[in-house]
């Protein structure tokens, strides 16, 4: 499903139309839906709800978002993050993957797992695996990129593992400020505390993020948690 603009932009456009033309919001939403090829807004929303998980999540993202994708091992958090990069590239934006853990061969294998070929996107995809990866490194790399670029950081808890790096809070604050100013999206893959497995919750939440060092989780604007096929999107604050 490919819309002319992200869903949040279409909703904003409908609100402006409702205000400027003095028509009910539902009528404005239906007119916007018609311009996208749907008879009503409810049909557009239903189509979006039936789209693959990454497409649904990507449709909610906006420039400047910091997204937290959390799960226990082998639940698909890295694959979902790659799927988000694919969605960005399908929309003509750049997708970058910064990893302190994976090799390029590992990432290519994971692309194959989700049925994608990074070479098919040409120069739209880049992989970074330098041992120097931290907030300053990521910002320096992303300064060359256009608004709409989506960067994946795999993973959050490794950013300050070296003592020479700033603390995690300082780095995430810097990345949020940069993303907002540059109009880019940064997705952080995050570990979940082992204690979650003993809980009765169907999915982790912010309380289950493994934090070896202090971090204000309201710095993230969107969250996505996975567990045994369950997936939950939400706002961090």
- Claim to verify: residue 24 and residue 63 sit in the same structural domain: no
As a whole number of angstroms, the distance between CA 33 and CA 134 comes to 42
Q: Is residue 2 part of a domain?
A: no
Same domain, 75 and 160: yes
Number of domains into which the chain is organized: 2
Report helix, strand and coil shares of the chain as percent, to nearest 5.
45, 15, 35
- 192 belongs to a structural domain: yes
Other Cβ atoms within 10 Å of 139 Cβ, number: 17
CB-based contact 158:102 (threshold 8 Å): no
Q: 195 lies in which domain range?
A: 53-235
Pair (154, 45) in one structural domain: no
Q: Six-digit token pair at 205?
A: 């939440």
pLDDT in tens, 4-51: 876 767 888 999 999 999 999 999 999 999 999 988 888 887 776 666
pTM (global) more than 0.85: no
User: Same domain, yes or no, for 58 and 45?
Assistant: no
Higher pLDDT, 1 or 154: 154
Strands (E), the chain: 66-71, 95-99, 125-128, 150-154, 185-191, 222-227, 230-235
Q: Are residues 36 and 143 in the same domain?
A: no
Contact yes or no for 154/78 (Cβ under 8 A)? yes
Half-sphere exposure of 54 (CA within 13 A, CB side): 19
Q: Does 132 share its domain with 217?
A: yes
The CATH number of whichever domain residue 109 belongs to comes to: 3.40.50.300
**Is residue 125 included in any domain, yes or no?**
yes
Structure token digits, residue 189 = 């893959």
What is the DSSP-derived secondary structure letter of residue 167?
Answer: P
**Residue 221, both tokens:** 């604007």
Look up tokens 């041992």; give the residue.
131
Strand duo 230-235 + 222-227: pairing: antiparallel
Question: For all residues of the chain together, what is the average pLDDT?
Answer: 92
Instruction: Please indicate, yes or no, if residue 1 is contained in any of the structural domains.
Output: no
pLDDT per position as a tens digit, 50-64: 668 898 899 899 999
20 and 95 share a domain? no
* Co-location of 175 and 132 in the same domain: yes
Q: Which band of pLDDT confidence, cut at 50, 70 and 90, is reported for residue 236?
A: confident
Strands annotated E in 129-212: 150-154, 185-191
Interacting residues of 154 by C-beta distance below 8 A, sequence separation 6+: 78, 81, 97, 98, 99, 100, 101, 102, 189
The model's pLDDT over 195-228, given as tens digits with 9 standing for 90+, comes to 999 888 999 999 999 998 999 999 999 999 999 8
CB contact at 8 A, 192 and 72:
yes
Tokens of 219: 């710095």
Q: Considering only CA atoms, which of 137, 141, 142, 85 is closest in space to residue 110?
A: 85
Instruction: Tell me phi and psi for residue 58, to 5 degrees.
Output: -60, -35
Residues 30 and 111 in one domain: no
Question: 109 and 21: one domain?
Answer: no
């Amino acid at each position: 499903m490919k819309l002319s603009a992200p869903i949040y932009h279409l909703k904003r456009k409908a609100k402006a139309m409702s205000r400027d033309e003095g028509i009910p919001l539902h009528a404005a939403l239906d007119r916007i839906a018609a311009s996208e090829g749907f008879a009503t807004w409810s049909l557009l929303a239903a189509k979006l709800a039936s789209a693959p998980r990454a497409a649904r999540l990507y449709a909610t993202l906006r420039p400047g978002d910091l997204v937290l994708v959390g799960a226990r091992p082998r639940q698909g958090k890295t694959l979902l993050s790659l799927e988000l990069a694919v969605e960005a590239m399908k929309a003509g934006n750049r997708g970058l993957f910064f990893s302190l853990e994976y090799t390029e061969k590992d990432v290519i294998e994971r692309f194959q797992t989700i049925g994608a070929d990074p070479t098919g996107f040409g120069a739209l995809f880049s992989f970074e695996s330098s041992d120097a990866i931290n907030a300053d490194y990521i910002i320096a790399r992303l300064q060359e990129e256009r608004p709409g670029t989506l960067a994946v950081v795999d993973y959050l808890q490794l950013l300050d593992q070296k003592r020479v790096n700033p603390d995690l809070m300082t780095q995430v604050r810097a990345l949020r400020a940069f993303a907002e100013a540059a109009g880019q999206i940064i997705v952080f893959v995050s570990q979940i505390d082992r204690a979650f497995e003993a809980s009765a919750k169907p999915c982790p939440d912010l309380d289950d993020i493994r934090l070896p060092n202090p971090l204000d989780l309201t710095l993230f604007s969107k969250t996505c948690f996975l567990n045994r096929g369950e997936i939950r999107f939400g706002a961090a604050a």
